[in-house]
Amino acid sequence: MTDRAVVLLSGGLDSATAAAVAARDGFETYGISFSYGQRHAAEIVAAGRVAAHLQMADHKIVPIDLRTFGGSALTADIDVPLDRATEDMAAGIPVTYVPARNTIFLSFALAWAEVLASSDIYIGVNALDYSGYPDCRPEYIESYQVMARLATKSGVEGATQLTIHAPLIALTKAEIITLGVELGVDFALTVSCYNADNLGAACGRCDSCTLRRKGFVEAGVGDPTLYATAS
């Protein structure tokens, strides 16, 4: 049997590339996405497109309600900042940070991996060009892996130890785009914008759009992003 990997799939550029890396590494891929009351529901639709495009074995969309806690511009009634310079993004944690989001997402991926008898989880975090989120840092991912190995049956019964793969963690956005292109990812299917409209058109002005646009320029790759007319 081909080994299975669970891949966190947000619908954005990074996770699509991480999924393509998992496939390149020889895994049968299982995508997991979350409907968490985020403003940009278009990303869920994009995740489904990416799962089909990459011929995943399965794709689950898990509803979870992070709005019940509030605390983020992505899930509460707080404005997403626009037109920030990338230097400013590096200073402090922005209001788009969702408390414990990657920890919650990885925990559901861990549950599914255990049921699938999979020992591999892929996540598309990167520590460069990353908008200052604490749960995108290498030391966070490493500590999650240590915890996950103790949390599960395999940690007790001595089967293959779980690995959290973060293949993009040391790459710039431009390098991620270059890698994705090499692996045949169609970035036109992806949505990164925090303010995307229902059709997935991007605002071009939020931190995520700014980082993405800059990445395409630096990679020397044509930007296939659908931008809303106003931007």
156 touching its own copies, by CB under 8 A:
yes
Decide if 152 contacts 162 (C-beta within 8 A).
yes
The rounded distance, in Å, linking the Cα atoms of 106 and 207 is 23
Residue 95, helix vs strand vs coil: coil
Amino acid letter, residue 30: Y
Binding region for its own copies (CB under 8 A) out of 15-23, 47-55, 93-101, 206-214: 93-101
Please report whether residue 68 would count as binding its own copies according to CB under 8 A.
Answer: yes
- Stretch 103-122: interaction string toward its own copies, x if CB under 8 A: xx-xxx-xxx-xx-------
Among positions 27-56, residues that touch its own copies (CB under 8 A) are none
Instruction: Indicate the helix (H) or strand (E) that contains 149.
Output: helix 138-151
What SS3 class is residue 49? helix
Give the bridge partners for 60, in sequence order.
32
By beta-carbon proximity to its own copies, the closer residue of 107 and 172 is 107
Say whether residue 128 binds its own copies (CB under 8 A): no
Kindly write down the DSSP assignment for every residue of 100-137, as one continuous string.
THHHHHHHHHHHHHHHHT--EEE----SSS-TT-GGGS
Q: Six-digit token pair at 38?
A: 């985020």
User: Least distance from C-beta 71 to its own copies, angstroms?
Assistant: 4
What is the tally of helices (H) and strands (E) in the chain?
8, 5
CB of 134 to its own copies, least distance (A): 4
Dihedral angle over CA of 151, 157, 161, 164, nearest 10: -20
Task: Choose one: 12-20, 40-48, 101-109, 185-193; the region binding its own copies (CB under 8 A).
Answer: 101-109
Residue 24 engages its own copies in binding (rule: CB under 8 A): no
Binding its own copies by CB under 8 A: which of 28, 49, 57, 71?
71
Structure tokens at 94: 């922005």
Between 34 and 216, name the residue whose CB sits nearer to its own copies: 34
4 in contact with its own copies (CB under 8 A): no
Which residue of 96, 152, 210, 225 would you call a contact of its own copies, by CB under 8 A?
152
Query: Which one of 15-23, 80-88, 138-146, 196-204 is the stretch in contact with its own copies (CB under 8 A)?
Result: 138-146
Distance in angstroms (rounded) separating the CA atoms of residues 181 and 179: 5
- Please give the residue ranges that form the binding site for its own copies (CB under 8 A): 60, 62-66, 68-71, 92-93, 97-104, 106-108, 110-112, 114-115, 134-135, 137, 139-140, 143-144, 146-148, 150-153, 155-157
